[in-house]
């Protein structure tokens, strides 16, 4: 297997054993990025020369002190979503008014991965303000899909999805509020994990989580499923700032049996437009888990059809702070009439749509808004009860990665990911090979609170059954 197809765990082991140098590993990934990034626009802030120096330091330390002196990810490349703080590097989250921002300290999840020895190759693109499912902004431009440059890489962590899907990085660190890890992982054919709320601190991410920290999560993307749990173990635990984070036990997914595990498929939960190919992929995944000993059950839950739409209302209602106000706090003025109508202004179409939506939402009667928010929470509680100690398989999007711009103004495209964010549940996005259009298929594996190991165990099984990440042709 090529260096740029291996897992981070395997690369770390090879570096420690001396069969590969860190410099070789870093150079191999930089070579991929220099070849594909001009057309992908996934890495938007690179530090290739600094990464080479870091790799040389790892190799020198190994020669001087031996393998036992190295931390677990020593010499392994990683990329980081630009909206997560990396000291001294840009942290705009795609917002023009934040172009001057340079954090003084790393986000805790970034610091912990660096302390484990990983080497940052660069920062990756996001949607403006991390608030849409296509990664495009007026600071860095648009990111393209790793398999088809005419299509979206997803969002808001589309840069991470595209760079890992192209083979340019084995692992990445990103954020997920309404599918921002899962959708890019799906679109680019890699693994992504939204952790249980309270497992990883969200400190150091922008926009700040305010009152929806339960919905917000930092988490990993990876081209190989075996990297997900080691990354969670490295990043997990209290940081003294995020009030929701606590010590949670993490079990080993590799030694977890799926025998007797209940796997639920929810029927009648999809809005019109959900493609048969997505549902067939889900059903194939269920059959593979059943072959591994799981017990598949079918239930009906029609309330899932609307919960994604209601979740946006929850975001606005429970924070008490509109995104227009957040943007104004950064020096932006998205509510001005010229900005709302100017297609080439400082704000993208999704951001303008979001702000207009906030204005319209304020016109709704308050009792109705409260009822809709309550309905969303009730549905999230129902999902949690249905899953219990088992798993739920659910499509990630209505269809394969959409063409650029096709998702703008269509909030229902997050309908399949939103319920699990609202419930704060762990979700692993697993690739299921390529579909009829040569684009990745995949499925969300949802578990009960704290059962991250079980969703990852199922992802490992699906990787064995379907092959996992398939490198794009022609990269």
Known catalytic residue: 303? no
By the 8 A CB rule, do 398 and 273 touch?
yes
Q: Report, in angstroms and rounded to the nearest whole number, the Rg of the chain calculated over CA atoms.
A: 21
Q: What does 147-214 look like in DSSP terms, one character per residue?
A: S-TTBB--SSSHHHHHHHHTTS-SEEEEEESSSTTHHHHHHTT-EEEEPPTTSS--TTBSS--GGGTT
Give the pLDDT score at 173. Answer: 98
- CA 398 to CA 299: how far, in whole Å? 19
Per the model's pLDDT, the better-predicted residue between 289 and 344 turns out to be 289
Q: How would you classify the pairing of strands 295-300 and 171-176?
A: unpaired
Catalytic residue among 7, 22, 156, 407: 156
- CA 61 to CA 233: how far, in whole Å? 24
Query: First vs last Cα of the chain: how many Å apart?
Result: 16
For 252-273, how does the pLDDT look when each residue is reduced to its tens digit (9 = 90+)?
Answer: 999 999 999 999 999 988 767 7
Is the per-residue pLDDT at 224 higher than 60?
Answer: yes
Give the pLDDT score at 213. Answer: 62
Known catalytic residue: 156? yes
Residues in the chain: 475
Catalytic residue among 7, 22, 81, 303: 81
DSSP class of residue 6?
Answer: S
For 8-21, how does the pLDDT look when each residue is reduced to its tens digit (9 = 90+)?
Answer: 999 999 999 999 99
Confidence tier at 303 by pLDDT (50, 70, 90): confident
Over residues 335-362, the mean pLDDT reads: 68
Is the per-residue pLDDT at 177 higher than 70?
Answer: yes
Is the per-residue pLDDT at 287 higher than 90?
Answer: yes
Q: How would you classify the pairing of strands 391-394 and 262-267?
A: parallel
> Which range among 63-67, 144-148, 298-302, 316-320 shows the weakest confidence by mean pLDDT?
316-320
State which H helix or E strand residue 228 sits in.
Answer: helix 228-235
Confidence tier at 219 by pLDDT (50, 70, 90): very high
Give the pLDDT score at 351. Answer: 76
Paired tokens of 412: 């229902």
Over residues 160-167, the mean pLDDT reads: 98
Confidence tier at 379 by pLDDT (50, 70, 90): confident
Give the pLDDT score at 44. Answer: 98
Over residues 443-468, the mean pLDDT reads: 98
Per the model's pLDDT, the better-predicted residue between 107 and 331 turns out to be 107
Using the CB atoms, write b or e for 221-238: b if 16+ within 10 Å. Answer: bbbbbbbbbbbbebbbbe
By the 8 A CB rule, do 98 and 92 touch?
yes
The dihedrals phi and psi of 223, each to the nearest 5 degrees, come to -80, -15
pTM metric for this prediction = 0.95
Give the pLDDT score at 3. Answer: 98
Average pLDDT along the chain: 91
Catalytic residue among 22, 127, 180, 407: 180
- CA 110 to CA 83: how far, in whole Å? 12
- Counting other chains too, the contacts that 247-250 makes at CB distance below 8 Å and 24 or more residues apart are 248/196, 248/198, 248/199, 248/450, 249/450, 250/452, 250/453
Give the pLDDT score at 52. Answer: 98
Q: Of 440, 422, 474, which is closest to residue 190 (Cα–Cα)?
A: 440
For 411-440, how does the pLDDT look when each residue is reduced to its tens digit (9 = 90+)?
Answer: 777 889 989 999 999 999 999 999 989 999
Confidence tier at 342 by pLDDT (50, 70, 90): low
Give the pLDDT score at 333. Answer: 62
Q: How would you classify the pairing of strands 141-142 and 171-176?
A: unpaired
Give the pLDDT score at 310. Answer: 73
Give the pLDDT score at 275. Answer: 87
By the 8 A CB rule, do 373 and 317 touch?
yes
């Amino acid at each position: 297997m090529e260096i740029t197809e291996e897992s981070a765990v395997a690369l770390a082991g090879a570096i420690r054993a001396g069969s590969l140098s860190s410099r070789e590993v870093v150079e191999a990934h930089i070579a991929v990025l220099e070849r594909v990034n001009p057309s992908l626009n996934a890495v938007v802030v690179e530090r290739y020369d600094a990464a080479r120096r870091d790799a040389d330091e790892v190799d020198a330390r190994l020669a001087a002190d031996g393998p036992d002196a190295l931390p677990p990810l020593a010499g392994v490349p990683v990329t980081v979503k630009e909206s997560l703080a990396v000291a001294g590097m840009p942290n705009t989250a795609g917002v023009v008014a934040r172009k001057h921002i340079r954090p003084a300290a790393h986000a805790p999840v970034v610091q912990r991965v660096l302390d484990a020895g990983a080497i940052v190759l660069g920062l990756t693109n996001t949607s403006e303000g991390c608030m849409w499912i296509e990664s495009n902004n007026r600071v860095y431009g648009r990111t393209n899909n790793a398999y088809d440059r005419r299509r979206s890489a997803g969002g808001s962590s589309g840069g991470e999805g595209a760079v890992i899907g192209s083979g340019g990085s084995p692992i990445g660190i990103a954020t997920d509020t309404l599918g921002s890890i899962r959708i890019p992982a799906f679109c680019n054919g890699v693994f992504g994990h939204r952790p249980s709320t309270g497992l990883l601190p969200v400190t150091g991410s922008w926009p700040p989580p305010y009152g929806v920290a339960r919905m917000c999560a930092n988490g990993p993307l990876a081209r190989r499923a075996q990297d997900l749990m080691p990354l969670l173990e490295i990043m997990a635990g209290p940081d003294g700032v995020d009030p929701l984070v606590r010590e949670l036990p993490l079990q080993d997914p590799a030694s977890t049996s799926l025998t007797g595990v209940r796997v639920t498929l929810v029927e009648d939960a999809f809005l019109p437009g959900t493609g048969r190919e997505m549902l067939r992929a889900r059903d194939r995944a269920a059959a593979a888990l059943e072959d591994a000993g799981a017990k598949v059950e079918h239930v009906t839950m029609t309330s899932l059809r609307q919960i994604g739409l209601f979740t946006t209302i929850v975001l606005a209602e429970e924070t008490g702070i509109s995104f227009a106000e957040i943007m104004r706090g950064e020096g932006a003025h998205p509510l001005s009439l010229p900005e709302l109508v100017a297609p080439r202004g400082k704000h993208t179409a999704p951001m303008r749509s979001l702000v207009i939506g906030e204005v319209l939402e304020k016109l709704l009667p308050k009792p109705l808004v409260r009822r809709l928010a309550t309905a969303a929470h009730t549905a999230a509680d129902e999902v949690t009860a249905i899953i219990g100690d088992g798993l739920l398989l659910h499509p990630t999007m209505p269809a394969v990665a959409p063409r650029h711009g096709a998702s703008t103004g269509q909030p229902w495209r997050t309908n399949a990911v939103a319920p699990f964010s609202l419930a704060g549940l762990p979700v692993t996005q697993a690739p299921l090979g390529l579909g009829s259009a040569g684009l990745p298929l995949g499925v969300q594996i949802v578990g009960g609170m704290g059962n991250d190991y079980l969703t990852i165990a199922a992802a490992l099984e699906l990787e064995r059954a379907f092959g996992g990440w398939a490198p794009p042709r022609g990269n």
